[in-house]
């Protein structure tokens, strides 16, 4: 009975088995360092998730990670937090405001506003790989659906992948756009329970919802590299993993060879390409 339960658990948590074609698609994310929320620098008045941050990342040849959220009128904007408090000094939720209302606010006391996704896609223009994180407090599948509609409308057909902490956002892509690469973000859901029940936190912490989403890669806080759970997962499934978020060259050097996909912010890596990673993917 115990053995059966273990086998069921392993079946539930296993990532997607990558075909040669999907491995090839993932090589672009492995061969570029990914700038977290763009190549932002507050000292240069370039806020995170802003048009200048994305332009700067493109100019340096870095891949880009960005966050998308739905407004009250179902427009997609590029913004990380659920509220405007940290970035704009206003304690209002993005989901409670229309896009027109959001346009009045500035990021970190600069002249830069909260960009619509369509503006950002025009700036990046498929020049570098993009990792799009789906943010949603409710109905993440709806956010995934509208994201897909906007990507299609902008003829953005390649050089992007999807990731989310929300398994059902990934499930939407698995069901409706299975050709798109998708990644499951992982946090310590027990430690950071917020408003979740312990039961739900245990399910998320154990990656049990992978059975629905079957992610192509799993994105971990890079500090998980030394945790036994991560090591066991790597040995069992030999999956592709992303490490987030490296804040210095020293952090990057310590565990660079453990993660295939590197997501950084707060500095400019000395080597823009993740050399050696192309060989790692072929071992899986």
Express each pLDDT in 68-84 by its tens digit. 999 999 999 999 999 99
The pLDDT value recorded for residue 274 is: 42
- The answer to whether residue 134 scores a pLDDT higher than 50 is yes
- The answer to whether residue 275 scores a pLDDT higher than 70 is no
Q: Is 112 a catalytic residue?
A: no
Q: What is the arithmetic mean of pLDDT over 229-237? A: 85
- Confidence grade of residue 204 (pLDDT, cut at 50, 70, 90): confident
Q: What is the spatial distance between Cα 240 and Cα 217, in angstroms, rounded to a whole number? A: 5
Q: Spell out the domain ranges in the chain.
A: 19-281
- The answer to whether residue 277 scores a pLDDT higher than 80 is no
Q: What is the arithmetic mean of pLDDT over 136-161? A: 94
Q: Is the C-alpha dihedral spanning 208, 210, 213, 219 positive or negative? A: positive
Q: What is the mean pLDDT of the chain?
A: 91
- Confidence grade of residue 276 (pLDDT, cut at 50, 70, 90): very low
Pick the CATH number of 19-281 from 3.30.1160.10, 3.40.1190.10, 3.30.1330.40, 3.20.20.190: 3.20.20.190
Q: Which of 4-8, 271-275, 276-280 has the lowest mean pLDDT?
A: 276-280
From the candidates 32, 36, 109, 284, which is the catalytic residue?
Answer: 36
Q: What is the arithmetic mean of pLDDT over 111-115? A: 98
Is the CB of residue 48 less than 8 Å from the CB of residue 114? no
Q: Is 155 a catalytic residue?
A: no
From the candidates 32, 80, 112, 284, which is the catalytic residue?
Answer: 80
């Amino acid at each position: 009975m115990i053995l059966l339960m273990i086998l069921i658990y392993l079946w539930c948590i296993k990532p997607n088995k990558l075909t040669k074609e999907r491995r090839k698609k993932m090589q672009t994310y492995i061969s570029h360092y990914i700038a977290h929320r763009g190549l932002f620098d507050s000292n240069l008045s370039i806020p995170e998730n802003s048009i200048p941050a994305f332009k700067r990342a493109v100019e340096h040849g870095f891949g880009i990670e960005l966050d998308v959220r739905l407004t009250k009128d179902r427009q997609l904007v590029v913004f990380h937090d659920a509220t405007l408090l940290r970035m704009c000094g206003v304690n209002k939720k993005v989901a409670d405001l229309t896009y027109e209302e959001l346009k009045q606010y500035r990021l970190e006391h600069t002249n830069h506003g909260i960009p619509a996704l369509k503006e950002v896609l025009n700036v990046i223009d498929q020049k570098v790989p993009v990792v799009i994180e789906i943010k949603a407090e409710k109905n993440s599948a709806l956010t995934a659906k509208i994201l897909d509609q906007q990507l299609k409308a902008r003829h953005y057909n390649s050089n992007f992948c999807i990731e989310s902490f929300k398994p059902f956002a990934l499930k939407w892509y698995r069901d409706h756009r299975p050709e798109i690469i998708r990644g499951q973000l992982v946090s310590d859901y027990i430690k950071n329970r917020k408003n979740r029940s312990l039961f739900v936190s245990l399910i998320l912490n154990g990656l049990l919802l992978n059975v629905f989403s079957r992610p192509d890669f799993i994105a971990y806080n890079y500090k998980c590299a030394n945790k036994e759970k991560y090591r066991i997962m790597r040995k069992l499934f030999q999956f592709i993993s992303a490490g987030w978020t490296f804040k210095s060259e020293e952090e990057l050097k310590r565990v660079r060879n453990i993660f295939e996909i590197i997501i950084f912010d707060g500095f400019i890596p000395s080597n823009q390409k993740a050399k050696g990673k192309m060989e790692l993917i072929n071992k899986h």
